[in-house]
Chain A
Amino acid sequence: MYAYDELDRTLINERVSEFRDQVKRRLSGELTEDEFKMLRLQNGVYLQLHAYMFRVAIPYGTLSSKQMRAFARVARRYDRGYGHFTTRQNIQFNWIKLAELPDALADLAEVGIHAMQTSGNNMRNVTSDQWAGVAPGEVEDPRIWSEILRQHTTLHPEFSFLPRKFKIAITASEHDRAAIKVHDIGLRLYKNAEGETGFEVLVGGGLGRTPFIGKTIKPFVHGRDILSYVEAILRVYNQYGRRDNIYKARIKILVHELGIEKFSREVEEEWKQMGDVGLTLDHSVVEEVRSRFSYPAYEKLPHMPDELKQAAHDPLFERWRRNSVFPHKAQGYSIVTLSLKPVGGPPGDATADQMDAVADLADKYSFGEIRVGHEQNLCLPHVAKRDLPQLWKALDRIGLATPNVNLVTDIIACPGLDYCSLANARSIPIAQELTRRFANHDTAELIGRLHINISGCINACGHHHVGHIGILGVEKNGEEFYQITIGGRADEGAQMGTLIGPAIPYAEVADVIEDIVEAYLALRDRPEELFVDAVKRLGVEPFKERVYATR
């Protein structure tokens, strides 16, 4: 965990005071709605279909139990008793009143939580691997660098009015859980031949209506230079990114229009001219930030404790353990994913009671620490294996032990037309119906890893392009239709899915997905061949045939 010091606390308190004043000026009419809009967006406040929506940052997905309890309090006091975890390690509250927002922000500030730049055309919450610091084989903890970037990008005087939003993600593992290839800047931390820490820098990835996979702009930027290099990219983007058309304003379009070679030359030129402007991260500076991260004092525990051996006789426990428990770098410990995808539930939602219960369980079993991943699940990052059976029982009681992590019902979905004013179609009811269709956990386990991602419009908040199966809501003559893509992925082999054919009406979506899954089961050459690999081997044709032959 990163511990805020007095300076961090002062800054977020100053931000709350500023926002309180801005809300007051809006309510008195001193600020027009047009002027206020940008200010509220910079504090994570959107105007949705029915109410204001409030998006709060969970930097690099790390939370303390205390912070989780503060979310529960906000959900109860200012909202309707629940919150929604998003694909970018944020939490959203959907029913906040404008006049109460400053109080909600002040409550969160007490535990070092803020909503700065969770929307607006600025640098958004820096995201990272939800297993950072605990994943076996990780190069080093990417959160140190995420925190350095979080501070640097917070209230940046030059880059708070960019052409469009700007998202940075960092990974330090071979397997990319942070989806860095679909970010404006993706950073892959690794050590060069000399053993020095640095980053492969990718730029221009993104989803939305013009999806692109990020391209490598520089294969190695030394850690000490990463701030100045990121600053150079942003300066080029701030000056030359398009501002005439909101749909062409992301950096991916600039990179695409200039070409990666020309764009990287521009950045290189700017970077060279920049010289020493106080952005060099000396070893001592990095260590200063590192020193404010605390790590658990792990006990020396057996790899296979008796408690685990005994519990293995319970098939329900075993199924959950096989599905939701992952290897930890410390012997005798595990990483546990808490599925926020119950059968029939909206993906990513948690009630205030669940949040409190998770906070208690984190204190009891995970050194008070919780993580949030882009798949919209939670995670307890340091659970002793001997505690797994007890933890499982406790999670099951609060509905957070659905053994469907990475399976067909572990669906990513945007809020869709149930909440969002941009949406063309509903997302949540589609997800709910699919979880009911595949509610049998044995079937889901048989199908194996399969990511379904649903977006209610082309803005792609549900990351449909990179779902193994992607579902995109579109509108046709006033009715909800859905385009289906297959073969997308968001990891180190990121690619966009391929459209299988004409859009289908709302009522048929679940049937079509069932058809696709059945086709896969019949076509896979062995049980270990994942859906996405079968699509790669076979192409979309056989799936398309199956879906459209009878329609």
Chain B
Amino acid sequence: MPLVKQGRITTDLFVHIADGTELPGDGSILVPASRFLEDPEVLLKRAGKLGVIWPNNRDLDDLVPYLGRLAAVALVFPSFRDGRAYSQARLLRERHGYDGELRATGQVLRDQFVFMSRAGFDAFEVRKDFDADAFAATMKSYSVFYQPTGDGRVTALHRRMQLRHSESAGQ
């Protein structure tokens, strides 16, 4: 499954660790929330980067205290129809100030890239190779955005207000 990061297909340095399997001595790992919460300090002190896979039906409160020490948070789309992780992503970015890698996992398809990026995701485990290939083109499919999110894109309303100010200043 290709990983898209910073707009490009890239090698995934993180190894997914399932519950109950042995941890590698070093290297970057992604662990399930349940395993992480068993003993967060042990994992955080380990050599190598740590990421946590957070399910979409679990409150973020238990994760928030550790955000500053995590290299990645992976949120889950069990189906592309299940949009809970969009809210989690925005909360992590906009409310809790998380600025590490925010990864979309699960059924991640081309037609959700723009929404995901706007919600704060910057890494995507893409289901299909041809969707991953189309990432850059897909991100260019929209240039107008109505809602403010934490992604820094300027909203239509903001552009209109700026236009209005520059027009009135020019008079």
Q: Which A residues form the contact surface with B (CB < 8 A)?
A: 5, 7-8, 10-11, 14, 17-18, 21-22, 30, 35, 38-39, 121, 151-152, 154-162, 235, 238-239, 243, 273-274, 277-279, 284-285, 288
Contact = CB atoms under 8 A, between A and B. Distances in A.
Interface in B62-102: 80-84, 86-88, 90, 94-95
A239 B84 CA distance: 5
Contact of B142 (A14, A161, A238): A14
Contact of B156 (A8, A274, A284): A8
B130 A30 contact: yes
Interface magnitude class on chain B: 35 or more
Given A10-B144, A239-B84, A284-B161, A35 B109 contact: yes
Nearest to B141: A18
A11 B156 contact: yes
Contacts of B130: 30
Contacts of A39: 111
Contacts of B155: 278
A49 B94 CA distance: 45
Interface of B: 80-84, 86-88, 90, 94-95, 109, 111, 114-116, 118-119, 130, 141-149, 155-157, 159-161, 164
Nearest to B117: A157
Given A35-B80, A238-B83, A285 B161 contact: yes
Nearest to A157: B118
Nearest to A11: B144
Nearest to A30: B130
Q: Which of A157, A158, A161, A235 has the most CB of B within 10 A?
A: A157
Contacts of A159: 83, 86
Nearest to A36: B111
A273 B116 CA distance: 22
A279 B141 contact: no
A158 B143 contact: no
A157 B114 contact: yes
20 contacts: A7-B156, A11-B146, A14-B141, A14-B144, A21-B141, A121-B81, A151-B146, A152-B147, A157-B86, A157-B119, A157-B149, A158-B87, A159-B86, A161-B83, A238-B83, A238-B84, A243-B82, A278-B148, A288-B157, A288-B164
A38 B147 contact: no
Nearest to B56: A239
Contacts of A238: 83-84, 86-87
Contacts of B119: 157-158
A5 B94 CA distance: 30
Nearest to A235: B87
Nearest to B95: A273
Contact of B157 (A17, A21, A151): A151
A21 B157 CA distance: 28
Contact of B149 (A18, A22, A158, A288): A158
Given A158-B86, A238-B84, 6 more contacts: A7-B144, A11-B142, A35-B111, A157-B90, A157-B114, A238-B87
Nearest to A241: B84
A121 B80 CA distance: 12
A278 B88 CA distance: 19
- Which 8 pairs show the lowest CB-CB distances between chains A and B? A161-B83, A157-B118, A278-B148, A11-B144, A151-B146, A157-B115, A7-B156, A158-B86
A156 B119 CA distance: 10
A5 B142 CA distance: 16
A157 B109 CA distance: 15
A38 B148 contact: no
B148 A277 contact: yes
Contacts of A235: 87
Nearest to A122: B83
A402 B116 CA distance: 51
Contacts of A11: 142, 144, 146, 156
Contacts of B141: 14, 17-18, 21
A274 B144 CA distance: 24
Nearest to B86: A158
Q: Which of A14, A121, A161, A284 has the most CB of B within 10 A?
A: A161
